[in-house]
Amino acid sequence: MVALATASGAAHAQDVPSAEAQARILDLLQQQSLYRDRVDWSKARAALAAARDPAQTRRLLDDVIQRSSGGHGRWISADQQRTASKRAQATQAAMGAAPLQTEDASTGPTARLGWITVGAYMDDQTQPQEVQHQARKQAAIALQTRIQEQDDGNRCGWVVDLRGNSGGNMWPMLLGLGPLLGDAKGADPVGMSILAGKRQPWAYRDGAIWSDGNAVVGSRNTRYTLRHPGAPVAVLFGPRTASSGEASVLAFRGRAASRSFGQPSAGYSTSNATARLPDGSMLLLTGSVMADRNGVGDGNRLQPDVTVGAGQDAAALAREWLLAQPACKQAAAVVDAR
């Protein structure tokens, strides 16, 4: 499942799908798009048939896609896919790189907290499916390795920073964050997609992420277990947190000993699927709402537990809350007693 809120910039006016692809786009949107009832499809088809030039055709198509997807769907030309390839590779490299530990000192109280930053992750759609799948595994392994490297037995709590996560493919994010998602039983969901009232749960177990009972991505190298399972987690997010970033936020909502800090998210907490079109272009089709492990979600902006106002430091508030939790107080008492 792909949830994508940010994509490449606007195409040239003459960049339009072929006639066959246009017909396929309308059929897919009318049959599967989340907000298809917001469009008069007969009028939309008539307007497209009467379009005078490619620029008008593109405007009409974009309008239909935006209305039926709540602003989350998008048509991507073959040329745009090639351009987006470099950006996708950059997001993959960033997720695999060791982050700067600017928020966590090597000594003092904050040395007792782990810090994981998770940014956007885009699939490189120009690559074969197997190559894309392996890249997702490697991204998740990198995140879990980062957790394992910090988990020295002294970490009493964790910060998950999603403030810069604008979206992409949610599965490597959830798999990488798996060790922090809670001391859950194997079959318990960490979130779900809701389509036409039907729940499709997401779960983390056996080193894999599962969707509706099917393994999506996993590896023998993504089975790490925290030294202190169920440790408190503070989640940071804000207006740049979109789509799959919002899915990651939702995966922690409802988790015991978890609290979020920041500002409302971008408001794209819906799921996209990719549909290949006859001319080589692609439609990002918004078909379901994302929800937390309790089934709470409406596709709109996510509200933090603690809203951070002007002049306030979300990270500082998160650290303060974590260090006040029983797990951290107990750890501090043990250290003081030595």
Give the DSSP per-residue string, 11-35.
PPTT----HHHHHHHHHHHHHH-TT
Identify the helix (H) or strand (E) that includes residue 270: strand 270-276
Which region among 20-34, 40-54, 91-105, 274-288 has the lowest average model confidence (pLDDT)? Answer: 91-105
Phi, psi of 251 (to 5 degrees): -65, -25
pLDDT band at 102 (very low <50, low <70, confident <90, very high): very low
What is the H or E stretch that residue 319 is in?
Answer: helix 314-323
Query: What letter does residue 155 receive in the DSSP assignment?
Result: -
Q: Using the Cα atoms of residue 179, residue 180, residue 186 and residue 189 in order, give the sign of their dihedral.
A: negative
pLDDT at 183 over 70: no
Q: 């999506």: which residue's tokens?
A: 216
Q: What's the distance, CA 176 to chain centroid?
A: 12
Helix, strand, coil percent values for the chain (each to nearest 5): 40, 20, 40
Average pLDDT over residues 282-297: 97
Q: Which amino acid is located at 28 in the chain?
A: L
pTM of the model: 0.90
Residue 227 makes CB contacts below 8 A (sequence gap 6+) with 151, 152, 153, 155
Question: For 131-171, what is each residue's pLDDT tens digit?
Answer: 999 999 999 999 999 999 999 999 999 999 999 999 999 99
- Looking at residue 111, what is its pLDDT? 80
Structure tokens at 167: 């979206």
pLDDT at 10: 45
The string of pLDDT tens digits covering residues 200-258 is 999 999 999 999 999 999 999 999 999 999 999 999 999 999 999 999 999 999 999 99
Q: Are 24 and 39 in contact (CB under 8 A)?
A: no
Given CATH 3.40.50.720, say whether it is the number of domain 81-337. no
In which residue ranges of the chain is CATH 3.90.226.10 found? Answer: 81-337
